[in-house]
Copies of this chain bind each other. A is one copy, B any other.
């Protein structure tokens, strides 16, 4: 973002093409909408790149673009989602999230009030997560050439020396922990989109998990793997983990927390909650000896009150996730094909 801050020159109520062209109107957008909320000593450097000191350990770097529709939904909006999602992608790698970038694509005609509300949510989410929006960029496209607003957030964090959390580290005997109920985010989006009556009661779980994960790593320092089950849900994430580590995973259906209204909406829509996106949940794979300590740490945190041990890593059926049902039968949890839930994040 090329930032400098003259006084606002022109006033508009909606995003104009010129707001993205790098001239005076771009400066106005920056000065009027972005800097009042996002301004901080790193962003205020106003150069083409943010600069900061390295911290001990390896660097973690991640990126995600958010195209969720609708952009406002029960429990959040595209702005806090974009911050929380990237914070979580860093945290599940064992990194301490520190710096985020924000890249906006805006549709001509988007009300500036909507943009400001989104930017304010990003600032608030960043504050809660303890990260800094370090650099940004804004592009504007003609009406009809994007759907209101897309946001890319990339993130930089630091992995403390000696920490090794990876999707390739699962070992038979490990416990599989889940930090809370599944499907809340995806079902909040879908029921809002479909105008279902569940809508008012199902809220996105969008939240930054780095605080809870930091607490957990103190008492369970040998965590093997962490993953936030976003797109594709728990089903996709566990299949990927089983695949990457060439192990099997056995789930206990009765242990997996699902809110009643989420279960109801999912049944109505013919969707398996295991395949639905979460935005404030994490799967933790930990040696059995540390499972109870990890569980207690999660439950002590506001984002892990309903945490549970939901399964274990096994030697059998490598690459495959199998669920034990409450009736004693077993079914394969397949990698979802991915056609049911577009634009969930």
Contacts and interface: CB of A to CB of B under 8 A. Distances in A.
A141 B21 contact: no
A289 to B, nearest CB: 24
Contact of A47 (B93, B101, B236): B93
A326 interface: no
Q: How big is chain A's contact interface, by range?
A: 35 or more
Interface string A48-88: 11111110011111111111000000000000000000000
A344 B26 CA distance: 14
| The 8 A-B residue pairs with the shortest CB-CB distance in the complex, in nearest-first order | A23-B338, A22-B231, A21-B338, A22-B232, A63-B101, A154-B154, A152-B152, A49-B62
Interface stretch (A143-151, A175-183, A247-255, A306-314): A143-151
A303 interface: no
A337 B147 contact: no
A274 to B, nearest CB: 12
A188 B115 CA distance: 32
Interface in A1-39: 1-2, 4, 6, 16-27
Given A54-B54, A54-B59, A339 B4 contact: no
B338 A25 contact: yes
Interface in A291-345: 335-344
B61 A24 contact: no
A222 interface: no
Contacts of A146: 67, 105, 141, 145-147, 150
